[in-house]
Structure 1
Amino acid sequence: MPDALTKTKKTVAIVGAGPVGLAAAAHVMERGMEPVVLEAGPEVGHAIRQWSHVHMFSPWQYNIDKAAERLLVAGGWNSPPLDEYPTGGAIVSQYLEPLASRTPLRDRIRTSTRVTAIARAGYDKMKSNGRAFEPFTVRYRNDKGVGTLKADAVIDASGTWFSPNPAGADGLPAIGEEEMAARIVYGMPDVLGAARGRYAGKTVAVLGAGHSAVGTLIDLVRLKEEAPATEVIWLLRGDKPEKAFGGGASDQLAARGALGVAFAALVADGKIRVESGFKVSHIGPEGTRMRVATGDGSCCRSVLVDELVVATGFRPDLGFLREVRLALDPAVEAPPALAPLIDPNLHSCGTVRPHGARELGQPEPGFYIAGMKSYGRAPTFLMLTGYEQVRSIVAEIAGDRDAAAKVELVLPETGVCSGPAPSVPAGAVAAGCCGGPAPDQASGCGVADVTADGKKGCGCS
């Protein structure tokens, strides 16, 4: 039976019980409305648990939502040191789990509940007259079967972790990729921990040029120190490896700058075999191993490996939103007003300004995509930006348009991007730079940052 639609209090359905989803629920509750959080996984923070070993680039101060913090403090919670850098596991155990179990949110979260479709009650996508006055129908499946929730508004904060991009350079799975799935991992496996036995002593290729690929490659080199038979190959589609080295000392996040500096040193020392201009087209078995090829599969180049890590980013799952009227950028798959701010073809992560309900609104009134999913296929996202998104969205749902329009978030000048950080001393950033101190306005995500004396900074090869 469908849940009864609350008449005296707005019901807001929130898809996803990650940091942004639970922050949205906290803001909804503070506004006197009723949140219902639907989480596909068995526990809150299900996606983060998949990368629990990874350190954030940003310290705790950038990873705690204000409304969530107020709920936690009221329940006797003690904040972790704000200048420490948490792992994904710490985010879950020290923040999300207390938020979900020790605050009034505990009665508003439904785990193991996968949303399968969202629509307007009694209206298919084609029908317009009176549409905006009807509640949403949120169809879900759990261990009891299929259920329906009625809601006045919906915030989709389901993320993108479980929709990774494939290895194929054209956005499609490489030929043979699906058949070789047992030897392929997407994202950032715990090569020094839980997955150590899978990679130690093996030839491992990592495809990608972002922070996840770089972090995995660094960890594989460290694994090689313990298991010398391990061979590390970096496959990147572009022809300029130095683009992955980042901004070094000009990055206001020391951990992110250190990542690029450490990686550049490993490449320079020949500890990582680099295969640039490698656009994967075919993957297939060869004896007991796997051949990964670029070209038409019969010529050009290929590498013979035991394992492949695909770290080529993620894309949003839009399948369950088929009956919702959406407007998305054709390339980034983000809301059109947000897309130009985050398109990696146009910007560095330092140029993304705070944004909220105005940029994230959809043609379907009362429906919003927030968090990492709002960035579509764009690669960089700050958790604190997600918190500002839902603060603004919830204010608009509550009818407080002044608060919805107000920007309440101030970011560091070079921007902040969440992601993996290796255990590299912050001092390594300055020591590894090849151009000297950076100017005040350097971009934290620049490839070859210009330093004060006109030379290239830590982005140089």
Structure 2
Amino acid sequence: MSTPTADHLPVVVIGAGPIGLAAAAHLVDRGIEPLVLETGPSAATAVRDWSHVRLFSTWAELVDPAAEKLLAPTGWVRPDAGTYPTGGDWAERYLQPLADALGDRVRYGTTVTGVARAGRDRIVDSGRDEQPFTVHVTRTGGHEERITARAVLDASGTWSVPSPIGADGLPALGEKSAAERISYRVPDLKDPAVRARYAGRRTAVVGSGASAFTALASLADLAKSEEDGTHAVWILRRGIGAGTYGGGEADELPARGALGLRAKATVEAGHASAATGFRTEAVERDTDGRLVLVAEDGRRLDPVDEIIVLTGFRPDLSFLSEIRLGLDERLQAPTALAPLIDPNVHSCGTVYPHGVNELSHPERDVYLVGMKSYGRAPTFLAMTGYEQVRSVAASLAGDQEAAERVELTLPETGVCGGAGVFDDPDAAQSSEGGGCCAPPATLQISTGTPAPSGGGC
């Protein structure tokens, strides 16, 4: 097997989120120099976008061991292991301190626009594996640079590419023209401007995962306050059955199970009404300018004022167009990983332990890690990503035995595991996914409650 000709070059890590920073910590622990490239002005830019929501994993499950080792000399104090942080807590109390400990190995305001083999486009075979990578970036202010790297770990996640409302995976007719009334994020109702947007109004919530549960619970809290007329219309592409609300009391992530029960209570209390088997084809406007959702079967819902679309996320592969990736045709995940994370079969807790072997591509020394590696599958947990980058770092260090010694035990839900958990088999193929877990930034609980009632990774 050929070896890299430039071991002195850094390993470029794309994204200074939880998994990217953990990757850097593992590389440092292995004596390999990382260079983390982050588009935003600080660490965990995507996490900060959902700083108002609480994860359904405890601090014990959210701190990477190699990262903690790197933080120890700085005087960092680990938060109470049994408590549930918000996204803001995670960013400020762990992720930013970790980035600070990495120092100038983290470069902010740097957007990756392309990755390629030096002097080789994706067609050329000759000498390909012997060439380092060139990472094309644009810095804040528009300055372009080229960075040479021995390997590339893409931990950029999927947060920037939410899935549309259209049931066929493409934007519904009229979706783009109604963009000012459509949100693809769980609203922060503590923000007065956001609260005013939904208070006293009728809002459609499209989606069937933890993010939708969060939005429904938050809107119910708003309806129970002083805001008369606040009502949610829950749009589901399948019917309501035993597994609709998640694992409930059987869920080994108690906060996640509690979130589903809150969503169920919201519907039963009349704060939300459900439209089932509704596959959106168009978004139209009535004579008053309100929005009307139209299904593929011709059904038209009563007008709503706002729409919250929570149908999952998908990876941005555009800047990897000159890299030879081996991706599953459905999930857009690495070919060997896809069967292990397929939401038609698996939940977060039934994902088989995996590492460098399942993450490898035809292009040597390129890895999609973290949520990016899961493509469109919503079954990701932070612990999974930490184990991924531990394995990849070991492999890059030449310790194949450690790289293949993947050990991971994940919480399992009582209803999501195994085939046949969907009321409508076709719904399992939709862009909503069907697993109990979603990207870290979308595994959320309602805000304003001191005890966890659901949450993230």
Other-structure match for 1:39: 38
**Cα distance in 2 for residues equivalent to 1:427 and 1:110:** 34
CA 1:234–1:76 in structure 2 vs 1: closer, same or farther (change >3 Å)? same
Query: The residue matched to 2:81 in structure 1 has which SS?
Result: coil
Q: Does 1:203 align with 2:202?
A: yes
**Cα distance in 2 for residues equivalent to 1:323 and 1:189:** 37
CA 1:428–1:113 in structure 2 vs 1: closer, same or farther (change >3 Å)? closer
**Which digits, 9 at most, give the CA deviation of each residue in 1:126-181, with x for residues without a partner?**
11121011000100111251111000000000000010000000000000111111
**Cα distance in 2 for residues equivalent to 1:121 and 1:347:** 39
**Which digits, 9 at most, give the CA deviation of each residue in 1:230-276, with x for residues without a partner?**
12110111122553311112111110111111221222232211111
Other-structure match for 1:52: 51
Aligned residue pair count: 421
Q: Does 1:112 align with 2:112?
A: no
Note the C-alpha offset of 1:427: 11
Contact 2:27 2:393 in 1 (8 A): yes
Q: What is the 5 A alignment of 1:185-196?
A: 185-193=183-191, 195-196=194-195
CA 1:324–1:225 in structure 2 vs 1: closer, same or farther (change >3 Å)? same
Note the C-alpha offset of 1:348: 2.8
**Cα distance in 2 for residues equivalent to 1:427 and 1:122:** 52
Query: The residue matched to 1:258 in structure 2 has which SS?
Result: helix
Contact 2:84 2:452 in 1 (8 A): no
Other-structure match for 2:136: 139
**Cα distance in 2 for residues equivalent to 1:427 and 1:49:** 19
The TM-score normalised by the length of structure 1 is 0.87
Q: C-alpha root-mean-square deviation of aligned residues, in Å?
A: 2.1
Other-structure match for 1:399: 398
**Which digits, 9 at most, give the CA deviation of each residue in 1:50-89, with x for residues without a partner?**
1111111110011111111111111110000010001100
Note the C-alpha offset of 1:95: 0.4
**Which digits, 9 at most, give the CA deviation of each residue in 1:202-254, with x for residues without a partner?**
11110000000111011001011121221211011112255331111211111
**More displaced 10-residue stretch of structure 1: 267-276 or 215-224:** 267-276
Letter in 2 for 1:149: I
Query: The residue matched to 1:274 in structure 2 has which SS?
Result: strand
**Cα distance in 2 for residues equivalent to 1:130 and 1:427:** 54
Query: The residue matched to 1:119 in structure 2 has which SS?
Result: strand
Other-structure match for 1:181: 179
**Cα distance in 2 for residues equivalent to 1:314 and 1:390:** 21
**Cα distance in 1 for residues equivalent to 2:446 and 2:267:** 15
Other-structure match for 1:421: 445
Which ranges in structure 1 are unaligned for 5 or more consecutive residues? 430-461
CA 1:347–1:408 in structure 2 vs 1: closer, same or farther (change >3 Å)? closer
Other-structure match for 1:240: 240
Note the C-alpha offset of 1:354: 2.0
**Cα distance in 1 for residues equivalent to 2:392 and 2:453:** 40
Query: The residue matched to 1:37 in structure 2 has which SS?
Result: strand
Other-structure match for 2:270: 270
Letter in 2 for 1:145: H
Higher relative contact order (CA 8 A, sep 6+): 2
**Cα distance in 1 for residues equivalent to 2:451 and 2:89:** 21
Query: The residue matched to 1:303 in structure 2 has which SS?
Result: coil
Contact 1:232 1:272 in 2 (8 A): yes
**Cα distance in 1 for residues equivalent to 2:300 and 2:196:** 29
Contact 1:234 1:274 in 2 (8 A): yes
Which ranges in structure 2 are unaligned for 5 or more consecutive residues? 418-435
